[in-house]
Amino acid sequence: MSSGLSGLNKTPNGVVMGLAQLALPDPHTRDELWQQTQRVIEMIGKARRSMPEMDLIVFPEYSLHGLSMDTSPDILCDLDGPEVAALKQACVDHKIWGCFSIMEANPNGNPFNSGLIIDDTGALKLYYRKMHPWVPVEPWEPGDQGIPVCEGPNGSTLALIICHDGQFPEMARECAYKGAEIMIRTAGYTAPIRHSWKITNQANAFTNLMQTASVCMCGSDGTFDSMGEAMFVNFDGVPLVEGSGRADEIVCCELRPDLVREAREHWGVENNIYQFGHRGYVAVKGGAGDCSYTYMRDLAAGRYRLPWEDKVKHTDGSAFGFAPPERNYTPGEH
């Protein structure tokens, strides 16, 4: 079964992951952004030295930029920029996969909050733009490329979502529906989110027969306090390993995607993700596969509207100092 590697022993089918509770930075210049990039690279080296069996090291959301919500060009990254190039080279140098966070320049609108998975040859394996920015606090452009999955270490299938994404059960369901056995969730959350962080990480795992690996930034930048609390959850919803609030701790666990595949094939009453599209298969052949959910049909038709829609108070970022936007969202314009 999956383990916290207290004996440092890796099984043939295992994927050893490290979740880095990186100390919360506060960069505001290009030089400070580069210094923080070097700090992340140092932690990649620490990961390799401390756990030679590690396949993948995961860094939290905001690990380069901190929580300032600064959208000025000097603090933004590009996929072909020096910061990403340095992270790719570090993965090559240390022969390890890495999961990273950047605030990505967008010439057509607000920056994207983007996540990257890079393999041990320096190749970009997964590129994701955060679908659900933490409104009304975050100014990031809503992601426009869906939720990709990629082949990960040792034949695993990985997905990546970012922070507030994990509060929407549809996000985890999409990851699993596309084949993810391990869903990574990177975050910059602060302590008031602690309860929902834990229960969503567990529910996202159990309801989709999927292992989840989640980590926040950690410590204080003098204004905000991030909570760390890395967390691995098994496909039955039971936590495997949990971190603390100690900054720069790397929390490790071995995950077993082969056991996820086994459960998805053989489980009956708790095979929730299969049953969702095959309702009542004992009564009717193959089960009912209709879309019985009003909110899904309305969203697809562009008419999603809550019964209390007109009473919602926060519908833009003005409460947090952002000017109300004037342009409409157009899918595919970026």
The catalytic residue positions are 61, 130, 163
Q: Two tokens at 202?
A: 């567990």
> Positive or negative CA dihedral for 114, 82, 126, 300?
positive
Phi then psi dihedrals of residue 142, to 5 deg? -65, 135
Q: Two tokens at 254?
A: 């071995």
Q: Two tokens at 6?
A: 């207290």
Residue 36's nearest CA partner among 1, 11, 70 is 70
Which residues are CB-neighbours of 182 under 8 A, at least 6 positions away? 15, 17, 152, 156, 157, 158, 159, 210, 211, 212, 213, 255, 257, 260
Residue 41's nearest CA partner among 148, 146, 149, 118 is 118
For 177-248, strand residue ranges (E) read 182-187, 211-216, 218-220, 225-227, 231-233, 239-242
Task: Please state, in angstroms and rounded to a whole number, the distance separating the CA atoms of residues 31 and 64.
Answer: 12
For 208-311, strand residue ranges (E) read 211-216, 218-220, 225-227, 231-233, 239-242, 249-255
Phi then psi dihedrals of residue 53, to 5 deg? -85, -5
What is the total residue count of the chain? 334
**Is residue 106 within 8 Å of residue 141, measured between CB atoms?**
yes
Q: Two tokens at 329?
A: 């969202």
H-run or E-run covering 58:
strand 56-58
The three-state secondary structure class of 199 is helix
Residue 43's nearest CA partner among 100, 81, 85 is 100
